[in-house]
Structure 1
Amino acid sequence: MTKIVAANFKTNHTKKTTKSYLESLEKKLLASDKIYIFPTPIALCENNFKHLKVGTQNAYPILNGAFTGEVGLESLKELDIKTILIGHSERRNILGESQKFCAEKFDFFAKEDFEIIYCVGEDISIREKGVENVKKFIKTQFENIPVQYPKLIIAYEPIWAIGSGMSASAEQIQQTHSFIKEISPAPVLYGGSVNIKNIAEILNIQEVDGVLVGSASLNIDSFYKIIQEARNK
């Protein structure tokens, strides 16, 4: 199975720098690569690349309407964007998106035949209570989520590892991915301080089907090195 490599730019890069990045990266990619890029919403562009897919970090589950500051399906359709991130911890914890709302989003975009990268992960207080508590918490993040959805990709991102420079250990990743694979047959990505120093070790874990990369994706050279490592696996 080809390893999946996804980049979440979060609130980084402009429309101009995103366009340059995507055009440059496209030239380096192979037909066998499975690459997803999630730019900041204002930098979304037409999804007309051959070797990568442009997705949206967020959207409101509506065609259009009175939802200030949100992106609707109508705008995504115009750009031919059919991939979305749902459930990222920053949206859950900073912006207050509940499990109920994540499930509503999932249902709406699944009915529109989107590829969905669905994010789950625990904070440090839960991790410190042990593996069984981690499993119990992650299970709650699948409430009302159709885990058999054929266009589902799951991203396991321990919150305590995101942006901290401290990745989960190989044993922690293996244990958690194995548990998630008992819940759903979908591919499972790892995210949380993935970089060029730890990518080989992470991708060597049998249960890891790819990675969701944050800060290490902002520089095209470092991100391409991660892609090259994925090809080797």
Structure 2
Amino acid sequence: MIIASNFKTNHTRASARAFVEALGAPKCEVRVFMPFTALDNFETNCQIKMGAQNFYPVQSGSFTGEIGAEQLEEFGIQSVLIGHSERRHILQEPTTLIRQKFAFAVVKNWEIVYCIGEPKEVREEGFEAVKAYLETQLEGIDMAYERLIVAYEPVWAIGTGLSASVEQIQETHQYIKTRLSAPLLYGGSVNANNVASIVGLKECDGALIGSASWKKEAFLEILNHTTQGEIR
């Protein structure tokens, strides 16, 4: 079971350190994706890994404002988010760059949390449209990569307070599982109240969580409910 916190544009170095220190020794695997300015050399339990929300697919070079592998390696970062909907839709990150990032991370042997998910208008067209949309996001991605984790995050449920129903999550995860053998997480307004029912699904291997995970007390509560919900 993998539970990941995506800090997005939140936390400072001091608050991130307090968050990580509060985690102790969790009973499941934990990932914390924090802003670049909050990265540090943390001493953590082996179940906890720090991750980067973004990177540019170079070791180093002349790319003003970007962060390359050299900067991440200084902090021992080996887990990265790729393809998050906020980068795809808000920051207009093109599919070509997403694929370049994926290929670069494979060469670096980093753990990849690769995000996929459909917008509201696609979901409203029906499940066949959802499957076709997800296929476009999986195209050109090495789904056999041994350090791959996929996160299904319906765009319409991210930061909206709306989570997909358990039935929708199960149906979509069942389909995605036919395409890969990697761990499959769910993301989209996951919180302490619904996490147990979500991670209790046979097809769900954990959760990628945004705003509900930013306060350490809330994240610890989520971890507690996760352990209760894990029925496999």
Percent identical residues: 46
CA distance in 1, matches of 2:178, 2:42: 33
Query: 1:90–1:162: structure 2 CA closer, same or farther, 3 Å change rule?
Result: same
State the shift of 1:47 in Å: 4.9
Conserved in 2, the CA contact under 8 Å of 1:47 and 1:53? no
Tell me the residue number matched to 1:33.
28
Give a deviation string over 1:102-158, Cα, whole Å, max 9, x none.
111000011110000000000000000000000000000011100010000000000
Identify the residue that residue 176 of structure 2 maps to in structure 1. Answer: 180
Q: Is the 8 A contact 2:2 2:30 kept in 1?
A: yes
**Which runs of structure 2 are paired with 1:145-156 in the superposition (5 Å)?**
145-156=141-152
Equivalent in the alignment of 1:15? 13
In structure 1, distance between residues paired with 2:31 and 2:119? 25
Contiguous gaps of at least 5 residues in structure 1: none
Distance 2:88 2:187 in 1: 16
Give the aligned partner of residue 49 of structure 1. 44
Whole-Å separation in 2 of the counterparts to 1:189 and 1:127: 19
Structure 2 CA distance, aligned partners of 1:218 and 1:178? 29
For residues 186 and 48 of structure 1, what CA distance do their matches in structure 2 show? 28
Matched, 1:219 2:218: no
1:126-205 pair list within 5 angstroms: 126-205=122-201
Deviations along 1:170-207, one digit per CA (max 9) or x if unpaired, are 11101111111111110100000000111111122211
Aligned-partner Cα distance in 2 for 1:216–1:84: 20
Counterpart of 2:80 (choices 81, 84, 93) is 84
Between 219-228 and 103-112, the greater mean CA deviation after superposition? 219-228
Give the structure-2-normalised TM-score. Answer: 0.95
Instruction: State the one-letter code of the partner of 2:53.
Output: Q
Aligned pair in 2 of structure 1 residues 147, 55: CA closer, same or farther (>3 Å)? same
Q: What residue number does 2:90 align with?
A: 94
CA contact (8 A) 1:191 1:213 kept: yes
Runs (4+) of structure 1 moved beyond 4 Å?
Answer: none
Secondary structure of the equivalent of 2:125?
Answer: coil
Does the aligned pair in 2 maintain the 1:99–1:143 contact within 8 Å? Answer: no
Q: Secondary structure at the match of 2:138?
A: coil
RMSD: 1.1
Aligned partners of 2:17 and 2:42 also within 8 Å: no
Using the alignment, how far apart are the partners of 2:150 and 2:117 within structure 1? 10
Given the two structures, how large is their TM-score scaled by the length of structure 1?
0.95
Is it true that 1:5 corresponds to 2:6 in the alignment? no
Gap change, CA 1:115 and 1:190, over 3 Å in 2: same
Residues 59 and 72 in structure 1, CA contact (< 8 A), matched pair in contact too? yes
2:103 aligns to what?
107
Note the residue ranges of structure 2 that are not aligned, 5 or more in a row.
none
CA distance in 1 between counterparts of 2:109 and 2:124 reads 38
The equivalences for 1:51-66 within 5 A come to 51-66=47-62
